[in-house]
Structure 1
Amino acid sequence: MSDKSRNLYGGQAVIEGVMFAGKYVNVTAVRRKNKEIEYLEVPKTTISWVQKLKKIPLIRGVVGIVESSAKGSVHLNFSADKYAEDEMDDMTEEERAKELAKAKKKEGKFDLTMILSVAAIGVLSFVFGKLIFTAAPAVVEELLFKNMFESKLGHNLLEGLIKIIFLLVYLYLMTLTPIIKRLFQYHGAEHKVISAYEAGVELTVENVQRFSRLHYRCGSSFIVFTVIVGVIIYSMPFFEWDSIWERIWIRILLLPVVLGFSYEVLRATNAVRDIPGLHFLGYPGLWLQLLTTKEPKNDQVEVSIASFKRMLELEKQYANGTTHNS
């Protein structure tokens, strides 16, 4: 069964695990230090006006990004807490007592209020990070290469190149950290499971490992497309600037537009990935994934499969309950 006859699921890597997002529920599975797998299952809440916005081209991309940042931060926080609990095994009695006291305060408080708080922090972190990534290259290009080109197109292309360099250096430095390297391995495991599911094969470790760790719908691809789309949009004749501050403000104001168009480009490249001659359009994103994903080990793939299967199981339960109630 091909991916055209199956639902298209997405996910993200978390610390020592993987989160998968379904239509009705998001599920995270993490590997604990005792080798057991622990789950976080968060039902999706449906807001009618948000669902309507997610059907409108250009707007749906921005809405989806904000929503993913909010929900993803909840699951990342869960995995970080479990990782911290496991790290307490290597602490002294005094250190462990302090950490247990903190954990006890949080125990039982993973409720709606906490979820909303963590989600809000996740959204703000994404927005702040995106603003920095948008403004900093423009400032660097303006200060170092102000008189190099007569046309704005030259400056915009150089700004885009600086963004790519910043991104590649940042990701490379992250891969030098052991915990981030494992996170990228889980990222690869997530992609492999989705690809195996879309191909219609049985989700076993052996089957899943045969698939590529790269995937056209990855958020890493989206990042590359924001740079490319940004250069095109910023180079339009009615977005001229006369000072560095005008240049920065133009980019900040156009950020939702760039994100919206980039999302549509991502969808388009995924739609044509099986068409000869057009599949290469998604290559820039796949190349970046060579940094943001690593080949996973079998036990990491096992966690990814467990998360995905649990998500599918809950999806059926929620779907049957919805059908019954309606």
Structure 2
Amino acid sequence: MSTEKLKLSSYGGQALIEGVLMRGKYALVAAMRAPDGQIILETEELKGIYQSGFSQVPFLRGLILLWDALGLGTRYLTRSANLQSGEEEKIEGVSLYLTLAASLAIAIGLFFLTPAAVGKAIQNLTGISSFAMNLIEGILRLGGVVLYIWAIGRVPDIQRVFAYHGAEHKTINAFEAGADLKPETVKNFPLEHPRCGTSFLLTLIVLSVLVFSLVGNLPFGFLLLSRVLLIPVLAMLAYEYIRFTANHLDHPFIRWMIRPNLALQSLTTREPDLDILEVSIASFNAMLELEKKLQPRAIHPTTEPSPAGGGGGYQNPPE
């Protein structure tokens, strides 16, 4: 293992269809395995609001960076799917944001409004307290999310995506440990990473019980409206929590706190083979090189390796 590593001011990633997207503070790279076996690289310089001062404001940055990640993630997921199918259709501009809005509306309906409606119905039938209702609602929400992830994880194509997700985690864990980024070495690193989007999702659900309890007992219509309006608040709180815990992993209590988050990642990751790891490493290395060119001072050599699998390097949105 090398004792020298590079420290980026921000980086993270996302699994694609037969590919991995890695992003830093100034650039992103999507590496995708084409049907003929070649690794195709697509690069993009990050500009706009991601580089603005707003992306550094606590709590507000969570909304900004998450929305940015959703837009970029949707766009490159489409490109990776098109590469496999040979189609040339692109989702950009208005169509991209309409797709995002439709996807978010369905998710809100399934995982926020439906549990709230069921919880309210149980309260009306039994007369339980508003806190008990919120607890039931939270359990239904968590159960629905876990069941959904488990169900789609049974699909072979999604299992491949989850393997690329695992490769992305292993690559970043290896980088943070100062290891050589070679498939044979990277495969030995953990599948879990403390700043994964799965961790963010679990944190948001737990926080929803606490935040919605503060709202109190509301009529049905206002109850559903509160669930929608408070989603940005939950997202901001969850983002700051994940960011804080990932930056304090040296504390035993923090490591204990994140165990449920890491355990849930077993549903969204699979052990990647060496070919999949090769794609993830190619994406990360290309992103590193592009970051150097765009902002040389953004990367500083250091001789202090972090613990193997230490994690905590994501400063942009969770995957």
Taking structure 1 as the reference length, the TM-score comes to: 0.84
Partners of 1:69 and 1:126 within 8 A in 2? no
SS in 1 for 2:271: coil
Code of the aligned partner of 1:20: M
Q: Percent identity, aligned pairs only?
A: 33
Partners of 1:70 and 1:119 within 8 A in 2? yes
The 5 A counterparts of 1:123-134 are 123-132=100-109, 133-134=111-112
Partners of 1:29 and 1:304 within 8 A in 2? yes
Q: What is aligned with 1:161?
A: 139
CA-CA distance at 1:3 after TM superposition: 8.4
CA-CA distance at 1:119 after TM superposition: 3.9
Code of the aligned partner of 1:7: S
Change (3 A) 1:149 1:56: farther
CA-CA distance at 1:4 after TM superposition: 9.8
Consecutive unaligned residues in structure 2, runs of 5 or more: 299-319
Partners of 2:123 and 2:129 within 8 A in 1? no
Partners of 1:29 and 1:40 within 8 A in 2? yes
CA-CA distance at 1:217 after TM superposition: 0.5
CA-CA distance at 1:145 after TM superposition: 4.9
SS in 1 for 2:258: helix
RMSD (Å) for aligned C-alpha atoms: 2.3
Consecutive unaligned residues in structure 1, runs of 5 or more: 86-101
Question: Structure 2 CA distance, aligned partners of 1:120 and 1:220?
Answer: 23
Question: Structure 2 CA distance, aligned partners of 1:75 and 1:166?
Answer: 27
Q: What is aligned with 1:296?
A: 272
CA-CA distance at 1:163 after TM superposition: 0.6
Code of the aligned partner of 1:65: L
Q: What is aligned with 2:74?
A: 73
SS in 1 for 2:75: helix
Code of the aligned partner of 1:187: H
Question: Structure 1 CA distance, aligned partners of 2:95 and 2:245?
Answer: 32
Question: Structure 2 CA distance, aligned partners of 1:147 and 1:273?
Answer: 45
Question: Structure 2 CA distance, aligned partners of 1:156 and 1:66?
Answer: 27
Partners of 1:11 and 1:190 within 8 A in 2? yes
SS in 2 for 1:278: helix
Partners of 1:29 and 1:37 within 8 A in 2? yes
CA-CA distance at 1:272 after TM superposition: 2.2
Question: Structure 1 CA distance, aligned partners of 2:250 and 2:212?
Answer: 31
Question: Structure 2 CA distance, aligned partners of 1:204 and 1:3?
Answer: 14
Structure having the higher helix fraction is 1
Code of the aligned partner of 1:25: A
SS in 2 for 1:62: helix
Change (3 A) 1:205 1:149: farther
Taking structure 2 as the reference length, the TM-score comes to: 0.86
Change (3 A) 1:276 1:265: same
SS in 1 for 2:52: helix
Question: Structure 1 CA distance, aligned partners of 2:4 and 2:200?
Answer: 24
Question: Structure 2 CA distance, aligned partners of 1:215 and 1:122?
Answer: 28
Deviations 1:143-167 (A, max 9, x none): 2453445321111111110011101
Deviations 1:39-63 (A, max 9, x none): 1112212348x72221111111111
| Higher alpha-carbon deviation: 245-254 or 12-21 | 245-254
Code of the aligned partner of 2:290: L
Q: Is 1:27 matched up with 2:29?
A: yes
The 5 A counterparts of 1:59-208 are 59-85=60-86, 103=88, 115-117=92-94, 119-132=96-109, 133-148=111-126, 150-208=128-186
Question: Structure 2 CA distance, aligned partners of 1:246 and 1:141?
Answer: 14
CA-CA distance at 1:208 after TM superposition: 0.7
Partners of 1:73 and 1:118 within 8 A in 2? no
Structure 2 counterpart of 1:38, from 33, 37, 40:
40
Change (3 A) 1:47 1:253: closer
Question: Structure 1 CA distance, aligned partners of 2:220 and 2:258?
Answer: 33
Q: What is aligned with 1:98?
A: none
CA-CA distance at 1:76 after TM superposition: 0.7
Structure 2 counterpart of 1:272, from 224, 234, 248:
248
Deviations 1:281-312 (A, max 9, x none): 11222121110111111110010001111111
Question: Structure 1 CA distance, aligned partners of 2:195 and 2:297?
Answer: 30
Q: What is aligned with 2:56?
A: 55
Change (3 A) 1:47 1:63: closer
Partners of 1:20 and 1:308 within 8 A in 2? yes
The 5 A counterparts of 1:225-236 are 225-236=203-214
Specify the structure having the higher radius of gyration (Cα).
1
Q: Quick one: higher RCO (CA 8 Å, sep 6+), 1 or 2?
A: 2
SS in 2 for 1:315: helix
Question: Structure 2 CA distance, aligned partners of 1:121 and 1:293?
Answer: 29
Question: Structure 2 CA distance, aligned partners of 1:207 and 1:121?
Answer: 42
Change (3 A) 1:279 1:148: farther
Code of the aligned partner of 1:74: R
CA-CA distance at 1:26 after TM superposition: 1.3
SS in 2 for 1:146: helix
CA-CA distance at 1:126 after TM superposition: 4.8
